[in-house]
Amino acid sequence: MSVTKLHFLSAGRCGVAASMLDTRREAQPLVSLPIWSYLIDTTDGPILIDTGMPDECVNHPDLFEAEGEETTIAPYMSEDDSIVRVLARVGYRPSDIVCLISTHSHFDHAGGNRHFKGPEVFMQQAEYDEVIPRIGEAHAFDFWSTGDLQYHLVSGDHEVAPGILLLSTPGHSVGHQSVLVQTPRSGNILLTIDAAYQAANFEDEVPFAVADPVLARSSILKLRDVAASEKAFVFYGHDTVQEQAVNLYPAAY
Ligand SMILES: [Zn+2]
């Protein structure tokens, strides 16, 4: 198996409190961020990274509102942003996917995982342990998580296939992982995912929404080393400046 192309797929947007991008700020206002899924074409078929938001978010920007609390997350999702439809636009059904890389369990990354019961789902063991055995008990909003997938659990860095390297980057979540993709046409691309929401988090160490700030910082330092040694282009999880330069499918990297 070898990588032929990397595609960027748009899977809707989400409003998040400005304080989640920079924890030194006041909570309001909401900032509209891009939600990404990534498709890697390989000689053995397509590999998907992340599945966007759950279908329950369609036309429900108020889904995560709690009475008497300030809104910090507002999904802006249409029916066309469901991962099944996103994939259909690029010619695939979920059953065509060779394997799914699930970077972490948050709703804007694993929201559509339930549609992928066939392929192997690569997840860090630590993320799985934190979420899947505890579905329905520990987390208020875990309705999108499911144990009913073909999980392929890994601990630490792991090569999924030549040119596709999972990098353990805990901190934003317990078992978060980033992905280094070595593309024939555009060189090495480091998808930080939510190890850094935006360039400021990565380059200037602006503090953002993470579960463990110490781990999150060491993960950023690790990714900086990888970016330098691999001469990789760094793409952040939810960067509103960077998104303006992204060429969506059918463009390829
Ligand atoms: Zn995210």
What separation in Å is there between the alpha carbon of 237 and the centre of ligand 1? 6
Ligand 1 centroid to residue 44 C-alpha, Å: 28
For residues 16-23, average pLDDT: 91
For the stretch 145-199, pLDDT in tens is: 999 999 999 999 999 999 999 999 999 999 999 999 999 999 999 999 999 999 9
Residue 122, pLDDT above cutoff 70 = yes
Distance separating alpha carbons of residues 10 and 38, to the nearest angstrom: 9
Q: What average pLDDT does the chain have?
A: 94
Tell me the C-alpha distance between 14 and 30, whole Å: 9
Does the pLDDT of residue 51 top 70, yes or no? yes
State the distance from the centre of ligand 1 to the C-alpha of 150, rounded, in angstroms: 23
pLDDT tens-place string over residues 73-108: 999 999 999 999 999 999 999 999 999 999 999 999
Determine the distance separating the centroid of ligand 1 and the alpha carbon of 53, expressed in angstroms: 10
Residue extents of the structural domains in the chain: 3-245
The span from the CA of 54 to the CA of 75, in Å, is: 10
Residue 140 has pLDDT above 60, yes or no: no
CA distance 242 to 13: 14
pTM, rounded to two decimals: 0.96
CA nearest neighbour of 149 among 2, 56, 51, 37? 51
The CA angle 16-214-177, to the nearest 5 degrees, is 65
Quick one: average pLDDT of 108-128? 97
Q: Which fold, 3-245?
A: Metallo-beta-lactamase; Chain A (3.60.15)
Q: Is 93 exposed, middle or buried (0-12, 13-18, 19+ CB in 10 A)?
A: exposed
**Rounded to the nearest whole angstrom, what is the distance from the C-alpha of residue 11 to the centroid of ligand 1?**
11
Lowest pLDDT segment from 22-26, 92-96, 113-117, 199-203? 22-26
114, pLDDT greater than 60: yes
pLDDT of 41: 97
The alpha helices in 47-133, defined as continuous H runs, are: 83-89, 107-110, 125-131
Contacts of 221 (CB under 8 A, 6+ apart): none
Q: Which residues surround ligand 1, an ion (CB under 5 A)?
A: 108, 194
**From ligand 1's centre to the CA of 52, what distance in Å?**
9
Give 191-231 pLDDT, tens digit per residue: 999 999 999 999 998 888 899 999 999 999 999 999 999 99
Spacing, Cα 88 to ligand 1 middle (Å): 23
Phi, psi of 145 (to 5 degrees): -80, 150
Quote the ligand 1 centre to 172 CA distance (angstroms): 9
- Using CA atoms, how far apart are residues 17 and 29, in angstroms rounded to an integer? 6
Residue 156 half-sphere exposure, CB side, CA atoms within 13 Å? 0
